[in-house]
Each structure stands twice: as structure tokens, then as C-alpha cells.
Amino acid sequence: MVIAYANVSDPENRSLKIRYSVTSTPITVLFNERGQIVAMYQGLQNAATLRRGINDALAENS
């Protein structure tokens, strides 16, 4: 699993903002190893929600 951060307010990342329909921040997008979105969360999330999303993403890769 790769964890990356992108500042969608940066003009260089405008394409990411458009591609993932970012209308507010923070946004967390989880992908499986094939690059498909398995979860997308807008706004702050608690640790349990993120842990569940990460576990689901990892399970899809198994």
C-alpha cells in the first residue's frame, strides 16, 4: 500500500481536483492495487473509519 499526500489547492494538482471531484478538503481516497477507488471520504474521519477503509482495500488486494 502506498500513502501519498497531494495539496489540491496547489495549481499544479488541479487535474487531481477535477479527476476526483474534490469540492472540499480534506478528502481521503483509497485505491486498490489496480488503481481503482475502493473508498472516498470527504471531511475529517476518525481512526476507526480510516482503519476499516484501509483493511477493506487490503482485503481486495488479497
- From first to last of its 62 residues, what are the pLDDT tens digits of the chain? 677 889 988 999 999 999 989 988 899 998 888 888 888 999 999 999 999 988 988 887 66
Count the domains in the chain.
1
- Structural domain that includes position 28: 11-61
User: Residue 19 falls within a domain, yes or no?
Assistant: yes
What's residue 61's pLDDT? 67
User: Residue 3 falls within a domain, yes or no?
Assistant: no
Burial classification of residue 16, based on how many CB atoms lie within 10 Å of its CB (0-12 exposed, 13-18 middle, 19 or more buried): middle
d(C-alpha 61, C-alpha 48), whole Å:
20
For the whole model, what pTM was predicted? 0.76
User: Residue 33 falls within a domain, yes or no?
Assistant: yes
d(C-alpha 1, C-alpha 39), whole Å:
14
